[in-house]
Amino acid sequence: MAQISEKRRKKAWSMWSERRIPSEYEAVSHRLHFHFRRSPAPFELDPDIPLNRWYKQYREGSQFQVEDWEGFRDPDRLTYRDYVQLQKEREVYLDNLIDEFERQDHYANLSRPWVDLLEQLYIPSRFSGHVLQMVALYMAQMAPSSYITNAGYFQGADEMRRVQRCAYLAKALSLDHGESLADSQRTREIWEDDPHWQPLREVLEKLLIAYDWGESFAALNLVVKPVYDSLFNDQFANLARHNGDTLLALLHDDFTLDSQRSRRWALDLVNYAVEREPGHRKLLKKWVEIWSEPAYRAVEGLAPLFAKAREPKQPQEVVEAVRTAHKEFLERIGLD
């Protein structure tokens, strides 16, 4: 009987062209988008159906193109398995954190003025957070390489973490401070009608119709999300910490890790594209300029609410801090 070799046979990866064995990350990420630049149409259907025309216009037709997107790598090299394990550990940490604060009757000990501010400034953020999730998933779906798509999908999942915790806290607060805090219709009215939220709602709704995949990436990952994360994960978290809501501050400290990962892959994608097509720096700067002022107006709309806390932050201080953080981010990627 022939003996079976103890060594595992090396596998073949038909789409892999480099003269080395791909890593696990590369094996499950490489050239999954069989439909990119496929002739005569992305999908094996009538070239004139809406699906094919959409991709040809907003992906293949985008100005944001390079010869080969398959060379890009997420700096964190995350596979789906890696991401699930990473976030499982983080979610266990957040669950334990919440359990510990709830054992200490944390919500009941919050002052009524602070809870009122949460109702106006924090609880409606589940609506804005959901928009960030939808745009991340759209941008990822339209991306020309699965290396980009996977990073975008993980970013969308990150947004869901933040939304889910916000919704949970709304219900938890309602048990001690009134059922209206968990009333989705009431919260929706704040989101849709409160003047402080309207500049943010405007820029997010426009973001939903930025269909060009390159502009969608630039608007979301280079402007709106960094500005939004700075406002909530930094400025609002600090406000919570100074007003006795340590739990909320710690939650957003954890969400900051997601934001940092998002910025890492966005920075690397910009560098990858600009190295191959230097003219893309001008293109990205144009998109950043278009989207920055609406994003800053969104911060200016919400900043006055920071002054309503018992331990307030001055609106201008909030605005300047967010602008400075965004400017520093743009400097790091050469788009200032």
Q: Does 35 reside within a domain?
A: no
Residue 190 located in a structural domain: yes
Q: Is the pLDDT of residue 236 over 70?
A: yes
Q: Can you give the three-state secondary structure of 10-65, one letter per residue?
A: CCCCCCCCCCCCCCHHHHCCCCCCCCCCCCCCCCCCCCCCHHHHHHHHHHHCCCCC
One-letter amino acid at 60 equals E
Query: Tell me, what's the pLDDT at 249?
Result: 98
Half-sphere exposure of 127 (CA within 13 A, CB side): 23
Q: At what angle do helices 125-142 and 184-193 cross, to 10 degrees?
A: 80
Reported pTM:
0.92
Q: What is the pLDDT of residues 112-124, one digit of tens each?
A: 999 999 999 999 9
Q: Counting beta carbons within 10 angstroms of the beta carbon of residue 2, is it exposed (0 to 12), middle (13 to 18) or buried (19 or more)?
A: exposed
Domain interval for residue 222: 80-333
Query: Is residue 224 in a domain?
Result: yes
Domain assignment present for 227: yes
Asked, for residue 12, whether it belongs to a domain, the answer is no
Is residue 152 in some structural domain?
A: yes
Residue 26: band (very low, low, confident or very high) from pLDDT cuts 50, 70, 90? confident
Which helix (H) or strand (E) is 73 found in, with range?
none
Predicted confidence band of residue 200 (pLDDT cuts 50, 70, 90) = very high
CATH of the domain at 245: 1.10.620.20
Q: For the ranges 47-56, 234-243, 319-328, which has the lowest average pLDDT?
A: 47-56
pLDDT band at 82 (very low <50, low <70, confident <90, very high): very high
| pLDDT computed for residue 16 by the predictor | 58
pLDDT band at 184 (very low <50, low <70, confident <90, very high): very high
Give the rounded distance of the alpha carbon of 17 from its chain centre: 32
Tell me whether residue 63 is in a domain: no
> Which pLDDT does position 173 carry in this prediction?
96
- What is the average pLDDT across 10-29? 68
As for how many domains the chain has, the answer is 1
Query: pLDDT at residue 11 above 90?
Result: no
Whether residue 1 has pLDDT greater than 50: no
Residue 125 lies in a domain: yes
